[in-house]
Amino acid sequence: MQLHLSTWEEVDSYLSTSKGIIIPIGSTEQHGPNGLIGTDAICPEVIAREVGERTGALVGPTISIGNAQHHLGFSGSVTLRPTTLIAVIKDYVASLARNGFERFYFLNGHGGNIATVGAAFAEIYADYSMAMPGSNRPQVRCVLKNWWDTPGVQALSKELYGDKDGSHATASEVSVTQAAYPDAIKRKEMKQAGRAPRPFADADDYRKLYPDGRIGSDPTLATPEHGKRLIEASASDVIEDYRRFLALD
C-alpha cells in the first residue's frame, strides 16, 4: 500500500490495523559512469514497494535527496545540509504521528545518510526526553535499515560479484536500478574502480580520490536480472525485519 496512491479514508482504515510505516530514503548523487544519479532513491523505493505489495505495509513518499555533500564535485548531485535533512525527517514523523502513526521504518539507500538520520532520530526523541515526566504524548519509534545490509543481499552480492561489488556505484545497486528502469540502462567501458587509502572529506577531496565517482566497484557486471534477484532478496529480509520491529513491545 503506497501512501501517495491512497486516500485519507484508506489511511484511517489502515491505522486501525497498524501504526507502522516504511519510508524510503535515498540520495540524488553521481553513481559513476553508468550508474544513475537517482540510484540511492530508486533502490529503497522499489524494494519498499515490493514489501508493501507483499504485506500490505504502508509505504510513504521517498525522501529522494539526502546528505551527498561529498558528491557535489560531479554535476547533477544534490545535497541537503545535515541540519536541513534533520528538519525534514522531524516534520515528516511529526505529521504522521499527529494522526496516530507510531513506528517509522526508514529503508535507506545511501551510506552517507546513516549518521544524519541517526542524529535526526535523537533530535526527535530529545523533544520527548526533555519534556517534563508525565506528558502523555504517545511515543514514536524510528529505525533505519540499509536495503543492502541484509543476509540475503550480502550473500547474493558475494555470489554475483565476489570482491567486485565495491562500496559506491556498486554492481548491486546498478543492477537494482536496471531492473527498475530497463530503459535507462547505460553502457560504459570501465575497469574495477580503486579504493583510496583514506576516507574522503568534502567534494573536491572526494573527486580527487575517486576521479570517475566509483569506489571499488565494477558496475559493468550489473544486469537487470541480478537486480530482480536483489530486490527479491532484500524485500524478503526487510519483511521479516519490519515485522520484528512492529512486534517489539
In the window 154-213, what residues touch Ni ion (CB under 5 A)?
173
Of 118 and 162, nearer to a second copy (C-beta) is: 118
Nearer to Ni ion, 173 or 218 (CB): 173
Query: Nearer to Ni ion by C-beta: 96 or 171?
Result: 171
Does residue 80 contact residue 67 with C-beta atoms inside 8 Å? yes
Least distance (Å) between residue 145 CB and a second copy: 12
**Smallest separation (angstroms) from a second copy to the CB of 158:** 26
228 binds, among Ni ion, a second copy, none (CB under 5 to 8 A by kind): none
Cβ–Cβ under 8 Å, residues 27 and 41: yes
Cβ(57)–Cβ(1) below 8 Å: yes
Choose among Ni ion, a second copy, none what residue 16 binds, the Cβ cut-off being 5 to 8 Å by kind: none
Q: Of 61 and 162, which CB lies nearer to a second copy in the complex structure?
A: 61
Residue nearest to Ni ion (CB): 40
Least Cβ distance, residue 94 to a second copy (angstroms): 5
The residue count for binding Ni ion (CB under 5 A) is 3
Closest approach of Cβ 171 to a second copy, in Å?
Answer: 15
CB of 153 to a second copy, least distance (A): 21
Q: How far is the CB of 239 from a second copy (least distance, A)?
A: 18
CB nearer to a second copy: give 2 or 55.
Answer: 2
- Sheet containing 103-108: order of strands: 20-25, 103-108, 141-146
Provide the CB-side half-sphere exposure for 144 (13 A, CA): 19
Cα–Cα–Cα angle for 169, 23, 73, nearest 5°?
35
Residues shown for the chain: 249
What kind and span of H or E run contains 11?
helix 8-15
- Count other Cβ atoms within 10 Å, centred on residue 100: 14
- Judged by beta carbon distances under 5 to 8 A according to partner kind, the member of a second copy, Ni ion, none in contact with residue 4 is a second copy
The residue assigned the cell 535523537 is 122
Residue 31 has phi, psi (to 5 degrees) of -130, 45
Shortest reach from residue 159's CB to a second copy, in Å:
27
3-class SS at 246? helix
Give CA 120 to chain center in angstroms.
15
Q: How does 34-72 read in b/e, with b if 16+ C-beta sit within 10 Å?
A: bbbbbbbbbbbbbbbbbbbeebebbbbebbbbbbbbbbb
Q: Show the site string, 15-44: x = touches Ni ion by CB under 5 A, - = not.
A: ------------------------xx----
Phi, psi (rounded to 5 degrees) for 60:
-85, 170
User: Does position 50 bind Ni ion by CB under 5 A?
Assistant: no
Residue ranges in contact with Ni ion by CB under 5 A: 39-40, 173
